[in-house]
Amino acid sequence: MLKNFKEIKTIYPQEPDLDLMIKTNPGVPFDEQCVDFLNELSVQLYKDPRTKAYPDVATFAFFCRKANILQLKSNYSHGGQRIGRGLIFHVAPSNVPLNFAYSLLCGLLSGNSNIVRVPSKEFVQVGIICEALHKIREKEESRGFSSRILLVRYDHQTNATDYFSSLCDVRIIWGGDNTIETIRKSKIPPRSFDVTFADRYSFCIINADEYIKEPTPDKIAQSFYNDTYLFDQNACTAPHLVIWLGSSSDVEKAKNIFWHELHKIVKEKYHVQPVIAVDKLSSFYGQSLRSPGIKKIPSQDNLLWRVELKKLPDNIDEFRCSSGYFSEYHACSLSEIAPIINRKFQTITYWGLNKKELSEFMEKSKPFGIDRIVPIGRSMEFSLVWDGFDLIRVLSRAYEIR
């Protein structure tokens, strides 16, 4: 069947059997064979010496460990009778190398067969994952389960998306709003549905009163760097706005320390493309026109741009740029933030606040957006609940016996 599409490059396996995949019955969530398969994937990834050089691969390998999967399974011990939906078609984003792997993992854990369109860019991390999968497939006992996986790569302007969409029970689309709009032009069967992960906006909250007491501010700056610069601030979880809480004097002290520590890290580890300097300038001009009164904090280079806000505009999510462009605002309280939060908002990273404060904020404000609240440095940590979707339950179906 795939031979009719010369533009499709099969990444895994070498000789796919799409007919078999379509006919393969779904399994139950957290099937023992699936747990063992993912654990073996973890083992193979840890054996690869390149894994140490790619923290995102190491993190994925750690996530796939049997102990972790069984811990995740315990959260679904009272989930009722469920079975996978069948065939999942995943469209992975082009700018996050390992997103395809986590999407695949969710499809497998929920009991499904999976066709995954990997990023068109040939990331080293994608190659590492695929090589590990090929090594597992060489083992005879794994061949049955590995038939649930097909990884492909093809350009946007092809009929392949139409074809894979026509086969699937669920289509998962990771990417921006434009990507979702384009993919949705390809029809899916009447009982099938889309799970979409659209453009989102994230921000960070720092309690300055607590921050200035911190003996190791460089570690917090490093964690913030991991949330932002590791993926050029392009990930939906990356903060574009920093909210400062606390007294005016402490906020000024905290800002000086925090941005100084961050700049040292960025200068040592990050290389900014020349074109980004132009992007940051044009982004600032655009923000100035639509949000009067903002101020650019002077900087010695283009590695870090800070835009100080006099007030929080309700369209702040429209002002963003990659590679180290941050708006910042001194808020009197958490409640001052609530009015600007719309459906675009996804993740809050925080430091110096406790879970009770954050829980009360969410319960009181009941915002349309915000699906995740995590400490600084953990914004990229994957969870089976993402963008408000419980992926195991969404990708499986309940059945009833009376």
CA 364 to chain centre: 27
- Sign of torsion, CA 235 241 245 250? positive
CATH number of 2-199+387-398: 3.40.605.10
Give the neighbor-by-neighbor strand order of the sheet with 239-245: 295-297, 305-308, 325-331, 239-245, 201-207, 345-351, 372-375
User: Quick check: pTM over 0.85?
Assistant: yes
> Which residues belong to CATH 3.40.309.10 in the chain?
201-375
Q: Specify the DSSP element, H or E, that contains 363.
A: helix 355-365
Residue-wise pLDDT for 17-62, tens only, equals: 898 899 999 999 999 999 999 999 999 999 999 999 998 999 999 9
> Which residues belong to CATH 3.40.605.10 in the chain?
2-199+387-398
User: For residue 52, what are the CA distances in angstroms to 17, 48, 63?
Assistant: 33, 8, 15
Q: What residues are paired with 51 via a beta bridge? A: none
CA distance 350 to 326: 15
For position 5, what pLDDT does the model report?
75
**Other Cβ atoms closer than 10 A to 49:** 7
One CATH from 3.40.190.10, 3.40.309.10, 3.20.20.70, 1.10.287.70 for 201-375 = 3.40.309.10
The pLDDT tens digits along the chain (402 residues) read 676 677 889 999 988 889 889 999 999 999 999 999 999 999 999 999 999 999 899 999 999 999 999 999 998 876 579 999 999 999 998 888 999 999 999 999 999 999 999 998 889 999 999 999 999 988 756 566 888 999 999 987 678 999 999 999 999 999 888 999 999 999 999 999 999 999 999 999 999 999 999 999 999 999 999 999 988 998 899 999 999 999 999 999 999 999 999 999 999 999 988 899 899 999 999 999 998 889 999 998 999 999 999 999 999 999 999 999 999 999 999 999 999 999 999 999 999 999 999 999 999 999 999 999 999 999 999 999 999 999 999 999 999 888
CA distance 90 to 5: 18
